[in-house]
Amino acid sequence: MKTLIPLLFVAAAAAQPVTIAHRGASGYVPEHTREAKVMAHAMGAEFIEQDVVLSKDDVPVVLHDIHLDTTSDVATRFPDRKRADGRYYALDFTLAELRQLSMHERMDHKTGKQAYPKRFPATTGGFRILTLDEELELIAGLNHSTGRVAGIYPEIKQPAWHRQEGHDISPIVLSVLAKHGYTSKEHACYLQCFELDEVKRLRTELGWRGRLIFLMGGKTKADLAEVAKIADGIGPAISSIVSGTTVTDLTSRAHALGLDVHPYTLRVDDLPKGISTPEELMRLLFDEAKVDALFTDFPDVTVNWLKKANTP
């Protein structure tokens, strides 16, 4: 199912900060599963994130990592398919093989323990992987049936690594976005990537005309003026904006160049050092730093805080 009409870009007209469901409602249901995305939509998230990697047969699938072993039963189902480094890579499996996997709550690769112990039990659920095409159909269907537009927020994962492996992920992702009607800045879509060279390539060589975000790691140094020439915003780590209980000047510098600021990631069960409640962190981010959006594993927490904050 394609979108029947172009999705108007809702955030620009809202004039209020928005909630981005980080990998869906991943604080409650295993990340990037169909159930996590449905829950995020029902909780009122304005945008829902899709991390995208390729299968062996060049199908874009929604998965946070190029690796499979931390969020699936791949080691049990395909024990002989690991690489020399002991890891299992999505790129080594066809879509038909990926569909055989059972996805689960994230595990720590080194310890084998559940990354967030209080979240969905890792040994249950029987969740399945989604293709990007399937997820965009799902969100379009929910937008249609509920009458509420939730935008999408795909991230192209490790494009340079994909090319080294002989697969060019970016044009494949752009073709799927175009199929579903996401082609311009009027549409409810942000495209994001950590690699600045690929952000430049998306805008120039590949001709992406939609909204574009350059993701920045906690210690990433970037020339914001250079970023502003090609991107619509930055996605920095929260630690780049809030240090202890002090707000840095990153947001104000970005805003001065016309860049939006969408930091990641609010986790109720993993707050930054010196922050005692998610409400305290959101006050610093939204009220003091004036960020434009926030990635969160707990969409309901952020949606509800923003509703209260914006209620006269």
Q: Give the residue numbers annotated as catalytic, written as ranges.
A: 22, 64
Q: Which residue's structure tokens are 């202890």?
A: 244
What is the H or E stretch that residue 97 is in?
helix 95-98
Q: What is the DSSP string of 178-216?
A: HHTT--BTTBSBEEEES-HHHHHHHHTTS--BSEEEEEE
Residue 96 amino acid letter: A
Which residues have a Cβ under 8 Å from the Cβ of 203 and sit 6 or more positions away?
A: 212, 230, 231
What is the H or E stretch that residue 243 is in?
strand 242-243
What is the H or E stretch that residue 132 is in?
helix 132-146
Cα distances (Å, whole numbers) of residue 282 to 35, 164, 230: 26, 40, 29
Q: How far apart are CA 19 and CA 26, in angstroms?
A: 14
Strands (E), 101-232: 130-131, 151-156, 190-193, 211-216
